[in-house]
Amino acid sequence: MEATGNIDYGLTNDCMFRAILQKSRKTLIGLASALLHLNPEDIKDIEITNPIILGESINAKTFILDVNILLNNSRMLNLEMQVNNLHNWENRSLCYLCSDFSQLNKGDAYEDIKPVINIGILDYTLFEDAPEFYAEFELLNKKTHRRYSDKLGISVLDLTQIDMASDEDKAYGIDTWALSSRLRHGRSCVWLFRVMNI
């Protein structure tokens, strides 16, 4: 399909971000695999568990901002695009993470809890004293650095630090995704769709 005309909103717009991920399975798999350092072929099943009704006003305030994804029926992702620094991201991301982690119903076994990863795609630098393009955090022992559990993780993609992308980030195309998210004009978005073969 040939894209024409101007696109007034870039991917940093919550509704545009959700619409693209909901409409294009290929895009959803591409973004998830890049952020998780997976090969796209390793993703056999992917589902947005909190879809919105597309086509409603892009300025509507009634939709849910984060995107919850069930990956291969074995891992949960929570993605959120955040443009404005409200100085609450650490607590906000922990709330999302813990909310998604509390997934058991009465009688379910604790062993059945699926791993949960919260990924914040931020258009600002979270820790000004330690800027990083793509940071991954987990629960560790403060002395030995032994991992407590692999079932909880928080990642932060800083769209303003693309020039700090590591070789590994580039190998998985995270820098390309970050660049595409910062595009705000029609021609740039057409370029994005061609580069990503959407």
Does the model's pTM come out above 0.75?
Answer: yes
Q: Which residue has the higher pLDDT, 126 or 8?
A: 126
Q: How confident is the model at residue 89 (pLDDT cuts 50, 70, 90)?
A: very high
Q: What is the mean pLDDT of the chain?
A: 83
pLDDT at 194 over 80: no
Model confidence pLDDT, tens digit, residues 9-23: 667 777 778 778 888
pLDDT at 161: 95
Question: Contacts for 12-17 with beta carbons within 8 Å, 24 or more apart?
Answer: 12/81, 12/83, 12/123, 12/159, 12/181, 12/182, 12/184, 13/58, 13/81, 14/63, 14/65, 14/81, 15/52, 15/58, 15/60, 15/63, 16/58, 17/67, 17/81, 17/181
Model confidence pLDDT, tens digit, residues 19-75: 788 888 888 999 999 999 999 999 999 999 888 776 555 454 444 557 899 999 899
